[in-house]
Amino acid sequence: MDILNRSILFGGKAIVSALDITDTARRAREIHGFSVAAARAFGKALTLAAFMSAGFKDLGNKLTVILDGDGAGGRMVFAGREGAKVRGYMEHPDCLAERPDAKVSEVVGKDGTLAVIKDFGLKEPYNGYSRLVNGSIDADFAFYFTQSEQLPSAVATGVKFDGDGGIAAAGGVIVQPMPGCTDEILVMLEDIVRDFTDMDERIAAYTPQQIIDDRFGHFEKSDLAPVYPAYECDCSRERVAAAIKLLGNAEAESMICEAGKIEVGCDFCGKKYIFDADDVRKIFG
């Protein structure tokens, strides 16, 4: 089972999070049929989407992350909600299939943007935005946290593959400052995370708690309750019906005339919803 462990360091001056999202990344690949290169980039960003939505407490809070670079994978979209329940898709899931060792930045691209929308059910959602640094995902998100959320962060994520190209492990470590954090503490923590160049190997060999205990255990530390990330889509026939209603009766009728039905596929989970003439009449009835 996937898990996210978090520990407060130095009596509340910083927080370290470590995630194992292996099952979540496998589920995403099962749905989307990612190439190895695509699965690597997607799994790294999915780790960060799970991390970002883990802090959501209330039902209905929604995270959207759009990684839009000029790489072979095209646009990646992630959505999350409380408890690190995430989903996502990529424009070109089979990109670089002939090159399993392609760099993450070849999938993501080096030029582009990272946009984050956090909807807390208030009038205006929070919108954050930054330019990509180098398409490595770790540096791009670290820069986003620093610039857009004013949280200078250290990020290391990784996806490990077995000999057959299957996902053996996926996850990562994120360190963020909390109020009262000094530059000294931050530099020390960043140095530790900078050491995690082998995050793919590390997440395959150790549990998130072991990674935290091993590298951060000698600091004053208190562990928080774990969170259990999972790939979950909350699409439903009712939601698709509501979307059809927004199209308006005339537009819906003309689609029925043309194709005899309205077929809507969910980008996140691949589920197909089909509405025939009767169904459409009921929506507008």
For the chain, helix, strand, coil in percent to 5 are: 35, 30, 35
Handedness of CA 202, 8, 118, 105 (dihedral sign): negative
SS3 178: coil
Nearer to Zn ion, 117 or 269 (CB): 269
Nearer to Zn ion, 230 or 269 (CB): 269
Nearer to Zn ion, 178 or 264 (CB): 264
CB of 188 to Zn ion, least distance (A): 43
Q: Does 235 bind Zn ion (CB under 5 A)?
A: yes
Nearer to Zn ion, 188 or 269 (CB): 269
Q: Is 248 left (phi over 0), alpha (psi -120 to 50) or beta?
A: left
E-assigned strand segments in 52-121: 62-69, 76-81, 85-90, 112-119
SS3 160: strand
Cα–Cα dist 67/78, whole Å? 8
Of the candidate spans 99-107, 196-204, 234-242, 255-263, the one that interacts with Zn ion by CB under 5 A turns out to be 234-242
Binding-site member from 185, 186, 266, 280 for Zn ion (CB under 5 A):
266
Q: Does 233 bind Zn ion (CB under 5 A)?
A: yes
Residues 6+ apart with CB under 8 A from 29: 39, 42, 167
Of the candidate spans 100-108, 146-154, 201-209, 225-233, the one that interacts with Zn ion by CB under 5 A turns out to be 225-233
CB of 249 to Zn ion, least distance (A): 25
Nearer to Zn ion, 8 or 235 (CB): 235
Q: Does 273 bind Zn ion (CB under 5 A)?
A: no
Q: Does 77 bind Zn ion (CB under 5 A)?
A: no
Answer whether 148's CB lies under 8 Å from 130's CB: yes
Cα–Cα dist 197/199, whole Å? 6
Nearer to Zn ion, 66 or 269 (CB): 269
Q: Does 230 bind Zn ion (CB under 5 A)?
A: no
- Interacting residues with Zn ion (CB under 5 A): 233, 235, 266, 268-269, 271
